[in-house]
Chain A
Amino acid sequence: MSAAALRVVYAGSDGRVSVAISSLDFDVGPQETLGILGESGSGKSSLAHALLRLLPGNAKFSADRLCFQNDDLLRFSQTELRRLRGAGIALISQEPALALNPVLTVGRQIEDVLAAHRSRDQRKQSVKSILRDVGLEDTARMMRAYPHQLSGGQRQRAAIAQALVCSPSLLIADEPLSALDVSTQAEVLELLKRVKQERRLAMIFITHNAAVLEGLADRIMVMRQGEVVAMGRFGEISASDDPYVANLISPQKTLAQLAAPAAITASGEPLLQVRGLSKKFVQSRPFSRKSFTITALEDVSFEVAECQSIAIIGRSGSGKSTLARCLAGLEEADSGEIVANRTNGKNNVQMIFQEAGTALNPRFTAEEIIAEPLLIAGKLTPEQRMERVSAVMDDVGFNPEWAGRRAEQFSGGQKQRLALARALVAEPRVLILDEAFSGLDVPAQARMMRLVLELQSRHKLACIHVSHDLNFVSLFAREVLVMDAGRIVERTSPSRLLESQNPVTRAIIEQSESLHAIGLEAVL
């Protein structure tokens, strides 16, 4: 496949025009893997959709040349394009949970792809063999399963099966790993490498995580704001001097810069004490008498003091989010106690949620969002409120000119800052960050982390970082608590983390290392 002067422009509803891709040239040879690397908002996903000519109605697409196997895609009719999609070029979309239809079985959805491109015979058989191929062994059950009955990794495998079932020669994978937890990421990556080998696929692999491209991509194209910044082999790219490229390729360098403010002195008095916290969920299904109990928390105890950070890590389902919700008072624990140091009778705990974007009302302006906790507390005059809001915006490095913009108009990183500002305006002493940065790419994560560390020392905050992997966030913590099945299985410090003998901890470390997603060595 090759393209020349590819350009995609979005027309906003308010008449503004934003350029997603400006004049892009590239080519992918047979069996070659092209890695496309870039920050969020660099036009990577627009590119994936543009190649399949699947852009939404408000997008304008133009190119001098767009060829696939000697066919000119620019001259293709809608029907010809439809025949090509799935059969010649297949797409694996970003979020596996969202890319499968919730009301149709997996078997049905894979079969429909076959039905669109192949004749009737052998369909059932091919569906089964492709499911086995992507590592979904229990084919009969998988075919009957609905997406919500599968785990994240199984869903992604099903989506890959759907893409591969018609044996395409080019596979476009648009951030296929970003929504999965680390262990599943490693498995899916392994699978993609294997099918690429076996089926002699050409692949365009889009990601913001340079590490996964190292063993996979033949060439890498680095994108920034719709333009190509660098192109070449992994070695060539990683030797680049461009700070943007360097940031993307080796977050370790960024981490090293970060290590400086990490030296925070802890003072004695604990701000938050948790003793013997337990919580059970009883679930019952509609039309059924049976109910089953899930132990989310069992006898959890720890404490945090002023200026201290602790990190709570664990796989999904280990109870860490329930713990965070209990601490924030959103959930009532069954037994045990949470003692917070309540100065001026205020609730001192604030929480920042997993996905900042969904935790902000899209119709509110930035100013309204930040002012809301004050409005609810209701003690300040409007002037005092505005003063506090602008002080906090200054604190988190939020451009005051943006105060009147609506939440939906901000990028992921900006939304994260907004969420941070909203938490800070209530003057908390304890800040809970529930996977707060996991949706961001590595450079943005580093920037946010630096900001949080600064704020922590400035406002003498206690921070609790909740995370599913050994995100570098956990490396600045005084204590690392590893959770599994509702219990704390290990208490350790970042420096002793790598020597840990605990199987749960080891598993998490190994998965994190296999992805090179963190730069443990660089910091420790």
Chain B
Amino acid sequence: MIRFISRRLAQTVLLLFGISVVLFLLAEAVPGDYFSEAQLNPNISANTLQALRSQYGLDRPLVVRYGYWLASVARGDMGYSLAYNQPVSQLLFPRLGNTLLLAVPALLTCWVLALVLGVLLAGYGGKWSERVFSLGSSALLATPDVLLALLALLIAARTRLFPAGGMHSLATADSGRLSSARDLAWHLFLPGCVFILSSLAPIVRHVHAEMKEVLQTPHVRAAEGHGISRLRVLFRYALPAAANPLVSLFGVSVGLMFSVVLVVEIVLGWPGLGPMLLEAILARDMFVTIGGVLLSALMLVLGNVVADFLLYAIDPRIRVQP
């Protein structure tokens, strides 16, 4: 077990290292840097720019810059943002917190919904409900995330039931803990819904398909033959037996969570990593970009680790025998 964990950790570190090298090379290949736009400004002389570049070390060779960056990662700073004038970690981590606050509950809700829906539909669905499901999930699959987010924005603007962006209302900024939590939940609702809707369709389709297959197996039919109730057969006998591929999908969905949440955050103005990453890319604020991408890579790895442990917990055939 310890060997497994340590091997997994070593793999993760190596992976992140590799990604960072590739990111540095890519960033180098992009023409221009943070100060390129200032060149257009006639009020700033070439000398000033040169001085600024050397002050921030942009004129050094790539390898040297990479070395400095690694040292800064070791300190926990993850480089320095030129646009915000502060260490990247101070920028990223609060934003990461906001993103997780939105994405994690939304993803979990999405999975619970998908499991319940998929299982019940596979177990009780008739011809018509299957058709409606197939149509609905296809439609949802074909709808771009941006459109869903814009739709949510429209609802917010028309009905005024929900805030059209942000995370807190000004009015509740100083009120008690309870009311500010309620305010937060109120702000979370629409982005959360958009996230759920955009991730739900593929997951629920997988659950449904796996369940359909498992329901045909002899052991499920045997369980029914013993008179165990339908609901119990579905959730206790069929679902765990169908779980293996779904757990792997869960790992992937944790990894993909970041790219889905990015769009939602940008359109609905949630102050997470998404909007910041977009700005950083446009401004060529290199270290913020690299930090953001590294975080999402870390998420992907974490998702897979979580999936491995879940698999281990659910399937006795994988577990160690004493």
Contact indicator A86/B321 (Cβ below 8 Å): no
B217, B221, B317, B320: residue with the most chain A Cβ atoms closer than 10 Å: B221
Contact indicator A112/B230 (Cβ below 8 Å): no
**B321 CB contacts on chain A under 8 angstroms:** 149, 285
Q: Bound state CA distance, A91 and B221, in angstroms? A: 10
Contact indicator B219/A99 (Cβ below 8 Å): yes
Q: Bound state CA distance, A12 and B4, in angstroms? A: 49
A211 proximal to B (CB < 8 A):
no
Contact indicator B221/A162 (Cβ below 8 Å): no
In the complex, what's the smallest C-beta–C-beta distance from A320 to chain B, in angstroms? 26
Complex interface bits, A137-179 against B, C-beta within 8 A gives 1, otherwise 0? 0000000001011000000000100110010000000000000
B225 proximal to A (CB < 8 A):
yes
Q: How large is the interface on B (under 10, 10 to 19, 20 to 34, 35 or more residues)?
A: 20 to 34
Stretch of B10-18, B72-80, B184-192, B232-240 with 4 or more beta carbons under 8 angstroms from chain A: B232-240
Q: How large is the interface on A (under 10, 10 to 19, 20 to 34, 35 or more residues)?
A: 35 or more
Residue of A nearest to B314 (CB): A103
CB proximity to B under 8 Å, residues A65-109: 82-87, 90-91, 93-95, 98-105, 109
Contact indicator A113/B227 (Cβ below 8 Å): yes
Contact indicator A93/B229 (Cβ below 8 Å): no
Known: A82-B229, A116-B229. A100 touches B318 (CB 8 A): no
**B237 CB contacts on chain A under 8 angstroms:** 101, 104
Residue of B nearest to A159 (CB): B222
Contact of B320 among A99, A109, A286 (CB under 8 A): A286
Q: Bound state CA distance, A54 and B218, in angstroms? A: 12
Residue of B nearest to A79 (CB): B229
Q: Bound state CA distance, A95 and B222, in angstroms? A: 10
**B224 CB contacts on chain A under 8 angstroms:** 54, 85
In the complex, what's the smallest C-beta–C-beta distance from A176 to chain B, in angstroms? 12
Residue of B nearest to A285 (CB): B320
A288 proximal to B (CB < 8 A):
yes
Known: A149-B321, A285-B320. A112 touches B219 (CB 8 A): no
Contact of A93 among B225, B240, B320 (CB under 8 A): B225
In the complex, what's the smallest C-beta–C-beta distance from A127 to chain B, in angstroms? 13
Q: Bound state CA distance, A101 and B222, in angstroms? A: 9
**B225 CB contacts on chain A under 8 angstroms:** 52, 54, 85-86, 90-91, 93
A253 proximal to B (CB < 8 A):
no
Q: Bound state CA distance, A58 and B12, in angstroms? A: 49
A117 proximal to B (CB < 8 A):
yes
A287 proximal to B (CB < 8 A):
yes
CB proximity to A under 8 Å, residues B214-272: 216-230, 232, 236-237, 240-241, 243
Complex interface bits, A286-303 against B, C-beta within 8 A gives 1, otherwise 0? 111100000000000000
Q: Bound state CA distance, A146 and B315, in angstroms? A: 10
In the complex, what's the smallest C-beta–C-beta distance from B279 to chain A, in angstroms? 45
Contact of B241 among A56, A101, A288 (CB under 8 A): A101
**B230 CB contacts on chain A under 8 angstroms:** 82
**A166 CB contacts on chain B under 8 angstroms:** 227
**B229 CB contacts on chain A under 8 angstroms:** 82, 116
**B240 CB contacts on chain A under 8 angstroms:** 101, 103-104
Contact indicator B226/A98 (Cβ below 8 Å): no
Contact of B219 among A52, A102, A285 (CB under 8 A): A102
**B221 CB contacts on chain A under 8 angstroms:** 49, 54, 93
Give the number of A-B contacts (CB < 8 Å): 98
In the complex, what's the smallest C-beta–C-beta distance from B228 to chain A, in angstroms? 5
Q: Bound state CA distance, A116 and B231, in angstroms? A: 11
Residue of A nearest to B222 (CB): A99
B144 proximal to A (CB < 8 A):
no
Contact indicator A103/B227 (Cβ below 8 Å): no
Contact indicator B226/A162 (Cβ below 8 Å): yes
Q: Bound state CA distance, A69 and B230, in angstroms? A: 25
In the complex, what's the smallest C-beta–C-beta distance from A410 to chain B, in angstroms? 20
Complex interface bits, B38-50 against A, C-beta within 8 A gives 1, otherwise 0? 0000000000000
Contact indicator B218/A94 (Cβ below 8 Å): yes
B316 proximal to A (CB < 8 A):
yes
Q: Bound state CA distance, A223 and B66, in angstroms? A: 80
Contact of A117 among B216, B222, B227, B236 (CB under 8 A): B227
Contact indicator B315/A86 (Cβ below 8 Å): no
**A113 CB contacts on chain B under 8 angstroms:** 226-228
Contact of A98 among B218, B232, B315, B316 (CB under 8 A): B218
B178 proximal to A (CB < 8 A):
no
B3 proximal to A (CB < 8 A):
yes
B132 proximal to A (CB < 8 A):
no
In the complex, what's the smallest C-beta–C-beta distance from A12 to chain B, in angstroms? 15
Contact indicator A85/B227 (Cβ below 8 Å): yes
Q: Bound state CA distance, A117 and B222, in angstroms? A: 16
CB proximity to B under 8 Å, residues A259-304: 285-289
Contact indicator B222/A93 (Cβ below 8 Å): yes
CB proximity to B under 8 Å, residues A212-269: none
Q: Bound state CA distance, A117 and B243, in angstroms? A: 27
Contact indicator A116/B317 (Cβ below 8 Å): no
Contact indicator B226/A103 (Cβ below 8 Å): no
Contact indicator A146/B317 (Cβ below 8 Å): yes
Q: Bound state CA distance, A85 and B221, in angstroms? A: 12
Contact indicator B320/A103 (Cβ below 8 Å): no
Q: List 8 A-B contacts (CB under 8 A).
A: A90-B226, A93-B222, A94-B218, A99-B219, A100-B219, A148-B316, A286-B4, A287-B3
Beyond A103-B243, A148-B317, A285-B320, 18 additional pairs, beta carbon < 8 A: A52-B225, A54-B225, A84-B227, A85-B224, A86-B227, A87-B227, A90-B226, A91-B222, A91-B225, A93-B218, A93-B221, A95-B218, A101-B219, A112-B232, A113-B227, A116-B229, A116-B232, A117-B227
Q: Which 4 A-B pairs have the closest CB atoms?
A: A86-B227, A85-B227, A86-B226, A91-B225
